[in-house]
């Protein structure tokens, strides 16, 4: 599905970002240019690929 939400430069918080819907939402938002703060109980490769820990 190609969905352009015009998210470039926006900021967001995604919870449950390590898997499932949270991971998919985080990846889509990052691909659209959003700046994302990801939160998860256990970080996975999906989290670190899109949002490296600082």
- Model confidence at 54, pLDDT cuts 50, 70, 90, reads very low
Question: What is the C-alpha separation between 10 and 35, in angstroms, rounded?
Answer: 6
Q: Is residue 30 part of a domain?
A: yes
Entry pTM: 0.67
Q: Which helix (H) or strand (E) covers residue 25, if one does?
A: helix 20-31
| Number of domains comprising the chain | 1
Residue 3, in any domain of the structure = no
pLDDT in tens, 30-51: 888 999 888 888 766 655 566 5
In this predicted structure, the answer to whether residue 9 has a pLDDT above a threshold of 80 is: yes
Judge whether 34 lies within some domain.
Answer: yes
Residue 35 falls inside a structural domain? yes
Q: Is residue 22 part of a domain?
A: yes
Q: Return the pLDDT at 13.
A: 92
Look at residue 2 and tell me if it is in a domain.
Answer: no
23 domain-assigned: yes
Range of the domain at 23: 11-50
Any domain includes 6: no
């Amino acid at each position: 599905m190609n969905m352009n939400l015009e998210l470039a430069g926006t900021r967001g918080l995604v919870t449950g970002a390590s898997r499932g819907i949270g991971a998919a939402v985080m990846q889509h938002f990052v691909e659209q240019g959003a700046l994302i703060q990801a939160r998860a109980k256990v970080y996975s490769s999906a989290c670190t690929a899109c949002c490296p820990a600082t």
